A and B are shown apart, each in its own frame.
Chain A
Amino acid sequence: MHDKTVRRRRALLGLLVVLSLLLLTAYFGESGGGRLHGVQRDFLTAISPIQDGANKALKPVRDAIDWFGETLHAKGQRDAAVRAEDKLRREKVEDQQEKRELHQLLALYKLNRLNVGDYHPVAATVIDKSPNIWYSTVTIDAGSPQGVRVNDPVVNGEGLIGRVVAVEADGAQVDLITDSSMGVSARIGTSNATGLVYPKVGDPNDLLLQYLPANTPASKGELVVTSGTVATSHESLYPPGILIGEVTSVNEEGGYESVNVRPAANLHNLDVVEVLTSHSGSRPAQLSALSASLPAGQSPPTQTAGGEQLASVGSTGEG
């Protein structure tokens, strides 16, 4: 009985294998129009309605599986898009930074060609800004090795920034023109009358050009530049013609006239500046030495006391 079962099983296997090989050989040996190919085509024709029906019936299943696959694919695409967006945003920020620096360097280059011939400009990057809202001091990465000295003027492409007040080997501190200790000899662009530019107390975005002679012609929008002259003991440390700002309003105060000046340089957004250094013995160096010899404490006087201080300093100088 067992042998019979084994023989039947083996015979069945042999039959199926032989049948498969016969089909294989016959199918492989005949042309495309042969009998087996014809049977195959007929079978396909016969079952095609079933296949169509099955396809339609199974379409929801296929769609559901596709939905999962496409959802996963979409998630992958979304993650890739987020990564690309982050990369583009970083590149945009870098581009904007480079563009701003380039703009400032170009402006400095143009400035150098105009009116700072006696100086040796040293480009520096602002590495630290005063954290308070007045932004009255900044630290730059150029120091004594680059020839930077105390009282050297600091400019950028937009105009006057301030002056160096402390120098170290690896950097220097710069007081901005809005700092309370600053005073800059200046004149209105179309006039020869000079005055002193001080920060306006309580408003870091505004300057005050004081002690202009009465009836000095001044109108809104006129430019205010450094005078570069030694009119009083308040000798300007700065080369002439450096833009400080533009007139926003004119005030008459007794025998003097004062004008409000909006700084030309955006002091809240400083990246690259230029220190106007000078060799010892040159005219700028002499002016700097003279300035350093002046009495300390040139803090901006109040509206009423400023004239007195100036008069006092002036009388000392004259005496």
Chain B
Amino acid sequence: MGGSPANPQTALLLRVAAFAAALVFFQIGVVSEVPVFGVNADLSPLLVAFVGLLCGSSIGAVTGFAVGLLVDLTLLQTLGLTSLILTMIGYWAGRLRELRDPQGALAPLVIGTGAAAVSLVGYSLMEFMLGVDAPVSFELLRQIVLGTVVDAIAALPMWLLVRRVLAGSLPEDPRRRRGRRAYTTGGLSPLSKA
């Protein structure tokens, strides 16, 4: 990316954009070609949710919109549909960080699973609302459940990957933030040990 930009926010956005574009191509070129349990994993809601979880609601929503637009353009899908769903996911994950700041080790798993479920159910609902002539069948429910399970399996590795790629560019590194929170509670304060 040719040197370090002056604005850290711009650097973060560039990094997120490059990573998201690469991941979308990886999704289309590899992940979509390898069925697991009869379904394909969808990494885009995981990516958007984790970006929101690390960067906040605004960047999460923008990332969701951009990734959704890229997916829709690349796969010749209905423009705006995936954007709408991923925008909501990115914003929701970002707000979760801003309001609750989940620190549990399994938080990415839960959030990733939730994002996948919202994405699959939301996409199906939107397709139905747009008048796709398909019945609500057991096969559809099975696809949604299995898709959520497969995404849940991919959630933790994906979280580690996103965090590693964005590390150093984050406006407020979670590790530093966690250390400060612990310090202010007094639990780990050097003064309390004295």
Contact = CB atoms under 8 A, between A and B. Distances in A.
Contact of B34 (A28, A39, A55, A66): A66
Classify chain A's interface size. 20 to 34
Q: Majority SS of interface residues in chain A?
A: helix
B30 A20 contact: no
B84 A17 contact: yes
A24 interface: yes
Contacts of A17: 84, 87-88
Interface in A47-61: 47, 50-51, 54-55, 58, 61
12 contacts: A9-B57, A16-B62, A17-B87, A20-B65, A21-B80, A21-B84, A23-B79, A23-B83, A40-B79, A43-B73, A54-B26, A62-B33
B79 A69 contact: no
Contact of A61 (B30, B72, B73, B91): B30
Interface residues of B, number: 29
Contacts of B34: 62, 65-66, 69
Contacts of B33: 62, 66
B109 interface: no
A3 to B, nearest CB: 15
B58 interface: yes
B183 interface: no
Pick the most buried of B33, B69, B80: most chain A CB atoms within 10 A of its CB. Answer: B80
B61 interface: yes
Contact of B68 (A20, A21, A54): A20
A88 interface: no
B84 A40 contact: no
A62 B73 contact: no
Contact of A16 (B61, B78, B130): B61
Given A20-B84, A21-B84, A24-B80, 16 more contacts: A8-B58, A9-B57, A16-B83, A17-B88, A19-B80, A19-B83, A20-B80, A20-B87, A22-B80, A24-B84, A25-B80, A27-B80, A44-B74, A51-B74, A61-B30, A62-B34
